[in-house]
Structure 1
Amino acid sequence: MNDKEVWRKFKNGNEAAFAQIYSRYVKMLFGYGMKLVKDTDIVEDCIHDLFIELWGRKEHLGDTDAVKLYLFKALKRKIIRVVARHRTSLQSTTSITDEFDADIVFPHETLLILNQLNYEQEERLKQGINKLSENQREIIYLRFYANLSYEEISSLLLINYQSVKNLMFRSMKALRKELISTFISFHLLLFLIA
């Protein structure tokens, strides 16, 4: 059942549809919330409050084709209000991992070297992401981890579509620059051990 249909059923009081919306999006909402604020309790409370309010106001909610975007916007507004009330600082770092996955069987020594290179590449990526602006980090998270389209990101962040694309381009360019030396080392090693 697609989001539009589930949303319609939820608005009509269908508890199973409400549970489906919750189970479909709660993990994504938690991940997004943790990118906005460091406090697990705040994120969990905001998600809890969001779903309680949704159920309480279901008859008054409008139709939407983009349930995920609607929930992301609502959660962001809720977290911003709570953070402003509690004067908690917004999170300025991210933790993104990039695991190496290969079907090739290497000797033990080679695996140790590959693991070290993978670790260095992961650290370089984290450093690169941490050097980005808060907006750039948020756009990367929304695009690659929440799988939002550029249009949805534009709507969520209240910036125009082209600005989202430009910001993503600059973010990826900065990350490529940060990763280039690790990438070259990694591929050179693969060439040498092949």
Structure 2
Amino acid sequence: MSGDNRTADEVRESIQETRADLGETAAALAAKADVKARVQHAAADKKAEITEKTAEIKDAAVEKAAEIKDAAAEKAAQVKAVAAEKTAHVKEAAAEKTAQVKDLAAEKTAQVKDVAAEKSAQVAGSSRRPRRPPADWRTGRARPGTRPSISSPTVARPTWPAGRCRSPPWPSRHSASPRW
């Protein structure tokens, strides 16, 4: 279009647009020239970026901790199950051994009872009285109602036949131990 055909309003709008473009350009140049503001802006951007990365790392750590906790709980449950199984096995083995020991004890008790019954029958069949010493230890004399024995001082000792052995079968009063 040529310059003659434009109206004053169109020219004014064009001037305002040019002024706005020029203002934006001047502001951009001023921003480039202001180093302090640019550094602050860059620091704010880095701070926001670091905060965002920290939040991501924290979330990842929390997630990983939860996974580890779940894995540890699972392992603990497995160990608990194995321990329970082993405990049950040990209890069964102990019960078996206890039953075996009880059976063996019952068997041995029956054997002992049988032997005791046999010995009791032997003792009852022989009807022997318990032997008491023939002499009173205080006086050296035979007790009343007992048979005199060879060692009793009231009974004379028999003589030993010569030639059979060197000493009699009873101990001598003068020797420390009997000679057989």
Check whether TM > 0.5: no
TM-score by length of 1: 0.15
Higher Rg of the two aligned structures: 2
Which structure has more relative contact order (CA 8 Å, sep 6+)? It is 1
